[in-house]
Each structure stands twice: as C-alpha cells, then as structure tokens.
Structure 1
Amino acid sequence: MSADTEADTEAGTVTKGSAPETVPVQRSFWAKYGTTTGVWTARVVLVAALLLVWQWAADRWFDVIFTSRPSEIWNRLVQWHQDGVLWPNTWVTVQEILYGFALGAAAGVVLGFLLASATLLYRVLDPFIMALYSIPKVALAPLFIVWFGIGMNMKVLLAAATVFFLVFLNTVAGVRQVDQGLIDAVRLMGGGRWHITFKVVLPGSMTGVLTGLKVAIPYALIGAVIGELVASNRGLGYLINDAAAQFDTAGVFATLVVLSVIASVLNLLVGLLDRRLSRWKPVEAR
C-alpha cells in the first residue's frame, strides 16, 4: 500500500470493502407525480364534460322531469343542507355501511382462513355456502325485519350478510393460491404452523383478502340502502323513497350523488390499506 493510500485510509476518505455511497436522485415534480396528475386531470375533465352535456341536453334531447339537470341536483343538495335534512340521514346510512362492512368483512376473513385450511370441512360445506350466497339479499330484508325489527340493527346485519360472502370467497381463493413451494421451504427450514401461517399464508393471501374488501364496499352500501328502502324513516334510502313518492327526480339523483361519494371515500381508504400492506411486493406486482 502506498503512503498516499495509507494516509487516505487513516483520514477515513478511503475504506477498503466499504459500501458505495448512495446519492439521492433529484426528480422534478412532474417526474414524480406526472402520471397521477394526468389521470386525475382526465377524470375531472371527463366528469365536467358529462355534466355540461347533461345540463345542455336537458329539455332538448330528453324530458327534464325524468332526468332533472345538474344545477337542480346541486340546488336540492344545498336546500337539504340548509334544512338540516342531508347530514343526519347521511350519518345514519354511513354508520350502517361501516358497521355492516366491518362485521361482514371480519367474519368473512376469519372463516375464510379457517375453512380454507380445513380442506375436507370446506368441501362438505361448499354447496351450502354457495346456496346461501345465491339468495338475493333483497329477499332477506322481510325476514330480517321479522327477526330484528326496522331499526339500525336490521340494516347493519343485511349489509354484513351481503359483504360476508364476497370477502369469504375471495379470502378462500387467496389462501388456496399461496405458493406451496414457499410453505414447503419454511417447513424444511424448521418452521412450524405459526411461521407458515403468519410468514407465508397471511402475506400471500392478502391480495385475495383486499380484492374481497374492494368488491364488497358497494355491496355494503347496497345492503344498507335496501334495508332503508324496505322499511325505514331515516337514512339515504328513506330520502330516495320520499323523493320518488313526490316525483322529485332531482332529490333522487342528489341522494345517489351522496351515495357515490361515500363509496368513493371507502374505496380510497381500502386502496390506501392495499398500498400499505403490499409494500413487500415488487412494484410491477402491486
């Protein structure tokens, strides 16, 4: 080693075998968020164009009595807000959706993992589960009214019953798609059932679970609103019934707008959860 190299080594500027220095890449805002910005811009432009065409075409291409117009829908939302009608009824429906979604999703995930692990038991129960899944949930509403009354419990349980099967079936599919080679590898390394479950099966099946949660969001909303449509004196389903009885098309569309916003927010939350739990995957596989 030369004197210069020894001096550099003593000074700490050169270290044999040290890791290379990482230099952060400076990227512009457009390089980081250009695609996302473009997607959201296209969405906003599309929605604005549809609303403008709808506003212009009302009473020109179709009867405004049956389709209303965006300006009237907005006025109805403002009126309900000022009258104190919108937010109390929205909060009732939001509670029913959240409680029903949480209850149905939790039951679907837990039973999905348990039955997917018990192959023989699942084969025995499979036709009965599919038979129950095939029953239209709106047909359960009268029965739920007899069992639980017309209060919030009925709507929550109807939403939960709707969510349960979607989450359950997707969870079972996710567990069954876990790579058997990974399970065998953990066993060869001396891993027990706990290691296999929490280190392989749970992360590997998370795609199926999250897919079930995403698919179930609108069905939780549907279950709650169906319960309100059948028997209720509050909630967004009640507002739809009341507006339809008065042939208030703007009121019906205004309620549908609120329901769409609720579904979009819930989808956004599940999407954030998906990104959080999928950080271990390669970027292209997310």
Structure 2
Amino acid sequence: MATVTGKAVTETPTAAPAGKTPHRWRGTGTVIGLRVLVIAVALVLWQVMSGPVVPEYAVSRPTDVFDALTGMLGSEPGWINIKVTTVEVLAGFGLGVAAGTVMGLVLGSFPLLGKVLEPLVAALNGIPKIALAPLFLLFFGIGSWSKITIAMTGVAFVVFYNIYLGLRLRERELVEVVQVMGGRKHHVLGYVTIPTLAAPFFAALKTGGPLAILGVIGGEFIASSEGVGHELFTAAQNLDAASEFAGLIVLVALTLTLNGVLTALDTYALKRLGLAARRRA
C-alpha cells in the first residue's frame, strides 16, 4: 500500500508478458556459453600441450587440423569421399529401418512365429556386425553395397527389437475395448498400435543412426577405394594425425546432422499423435 497526495494506491506486481520466459532464455544462454567455454579451453590446452607434453605426431595441433579440414572441404576428392560415405549411411539406414520394421511387425503380430524365430534372430544379432564384413565383401565386392549391407544389419536388429517388444507389450485391454466398441483392425492400428509403437520406434531410429555410420566406416576400413573411412585409414597408415582428426570432425558433423533430423521428426510425429505431453511428463 502506498499513499500519493492523501490517496491510497495499491501497488500490484507487473505480470510478465505472455509467451515470454526470460529465465528459460537466460538458462539456455548460460548453458551454451559454458559449452563454448569448455571447447575453447580444450582447444587451448590441446594447442599448448601438443609437443611439450604429448607427441605432436600423435595428436597434431588444432591449427594443423583446421588446415587439413579446410583442405578436405576445399578439394573435389574430399567432397567425393564425404558424398560416398553419406550415401552409404543413408541407404543402409533406410534399408535397415524398413527391414527391421517388417520383421518386427510380422513376428510381433503372429505370436507362434515369433516364438519360433526369436531365438534365431537373437543368435544372428549376437554376431558382431563388423565380423560379417568379410562375408559381405565376398558377396558384393569392395563397392558401396558391401558397406550399405553392413550398416543395414546393425540398424535392422535395433528397429526389430523395439517394434517386436512394443507389440508384445501392447495393452490387450485397450485392443479389446476398441473391438467391443465396434472398431475394426484399422481402428486398432490407429488408436492403439501406432501410439504404442511411436516412442520405441523413434528411439530405435536415434539409436540406429550412429550404428549405420559405424557399420559404413568399419566396412571402409576393411576394404574400400573411397569414402571418409578410407581416408581415415590412409591417414593412420601415413601417421597423418591432422587428417585423421579432420575426418573425425566430418563424422561428428554427419552424426549430429542425422540426429538433429531424427529428433525433429520424432518431435513432429509425437506432436501429431498427441503424445508430446506424455513425453514431457
């Protein structure tokens, strides 16, 4: 309560404009600033310690890595290698998602078939995917298809298990309620199955992305004539640490880009299905 010229005036706090969250923006800016600071400190320590503390031939220097990266991005062979690896990753990822989804839906929809084949699938999944690389090289040669197949197998099993277990954990009561209310198979699919499988499916996609990159790079390590993995292997043989780190930066950028696209797709799909609020909870 405040008195102005003999009149009582009640002071009320001014409400923040709707839709603005200054504390959230300040918190986000602080986090981003700290991340930049950590990276800057790491680069400075790397530059200073390379040579006096750690052998320069093993870790190079940030300045040399920058020169190697700009040289890679500024040359036609560098972009050809990046394009080859990107195409192989996307193709392997897409085929793996398709194969895993089909296997998961089929085995999850037919319980008897699932019980019969699940141990066989588990046995195949237990084989390290990179151990299959020589076999795929015999089938498809050193071209792109051998790397695509390696990436596909890693992604397919992850997607399969998420879809398969999601179907098995689907609430039977909800299915029966929809059926009692006169719903048909497409109603069960739209109101029960898809909302149940959405979260595990997109989780499988975000897990499978790095696996696809790992499979492609591993295949390019073993036998290839082009690709980022081929360049990494060549740089390691030549003890060229700067080019090695430059290739790793390209792979990190590829991973972050793929993960960002999948995250945006995940958020959009869950929002359209009305599941975004459930995830925030």
Residue ranges of structure 2 left out of the alignment (5+ in a row)? 1-16
Q: Does 1:43 align with 2:35?
A: yes
Tell me the residue number matched to 1:192: 184
Question: Are the structure 2 counterparts of residues 48 and 173 from structure 1 closer, same or farther at C-alpha, using a change threshold of 3 Å?
Answer: farther
Aligned to 2:173: 181
Q: How does 1:122-161 map to 2 (within 5 A)?
A: 122-161=114-153
1:61 matched to 2:23? The reply is no
Q: How far does residue 56 in structure 1 lie from its aligned partner after superposition? A: 2.2
Q: Secondary structure at the match of 1:232?
A: coil
C-alpha displacement of 1:178: 2.7
- Are residues 121 and 42 of structure 1, via their aligned partners in 2, closer, same or farther at CA, if it must alter by over 3 Å? farther
- Mapped to 2, the partners of 1:132 and 1:148 lie a distance apart of 20
TM-score (norm 1): 0.86
Letter in structure 2 aligned against 1:137: K
Shift, 1:114, TM fit: 1.8
Distance in 1, Cα, partners of 2:37 & 2:86? 29
Label 1:112 to 1:38 Cα distance change in 2 as closer, same or farther (>3 A): farther
Aligned to 2:266: 274
1 CA distance for matches of 2:40 and 2:180? 59
* % identical equivalent positions: 35
Residue of structure 1 equivalent to 2:232? 240
- 1:285 alignment partner in structure 2: 279
CA contact (8 A) 1:92 1:234 kept: yes
User: Is the contact between residue 174 and residue 206 of structure 1 (CA under 8 Å) also seen in structure 2?
Assistant: no
Q: Which residue of 2 aligns with 1:254?
A: 246
1:277 is displaced (CA, Å) by 1.3
How do residues 152-231 of structure 1 correspond to structure 2 at under 5 angstroms? 152-231=144-223
The answer to whether residue 72 in structure 2 is matched with residue 80 in structure 1 is: yes
For residues 184 and 96 of structure 2, the distance between their equivalents in structure 1, rounded to whole angstroms, comes to 30
Equivalent-residue separation in structure 2 for 1:99 and 1:155 (angstroms): 10
Q: Is the partner of 2:195 in helix, strand or coil? A: helix
1:93 and 2:85 aligned: yes
For residues 108 and 42 of structure 1, the distance between their equivalents in structure 2, rounded to whole angstroms, comes to 40
Deviation at 1:57, TM superposition (A): 2.0
* SS across alignment from 2:74: helix
- Which moved further from structure 2: 61-70 or 115-124? 61-70
Matched residues in 1 for 2:180 and 2:78: separation?
60
CA contact (8 A) 1:171 1:209 kept: yes
Aligned residues: 263
* More off after superposition, 62-71 vs 202-211: 62-71
Using the alignment, how far apart are the partners of 2:30 and 2:158 within structure 1? 33
In the alignment, residue 47 of structure 1 is paired with which amino acid? I
- Confirm or deny: 8 A CA contact 1:77 1:86 kept in the other structure: no
2:155–2:211: 8 Å Cα contact kept in structure 1? yes
Structure 1 residues 35 and 117: alpha-carbon distance in aligned structure 2, compared to 1, 3 A threshold: farther
Structure 1 residue 35, shift from structure 2 partner:
4.6
* C-alpha RMSD of the superposition: 1.9
CA, structure 1 residues 34+195, in 2 after alignment: closer, same or farther (shift >3 Å)? farther
The one-letter code matched in structure 1 to 2:83 is W
Deviations 1:99-134 (A, max 9, x none): 000000111112212211111111111111011101
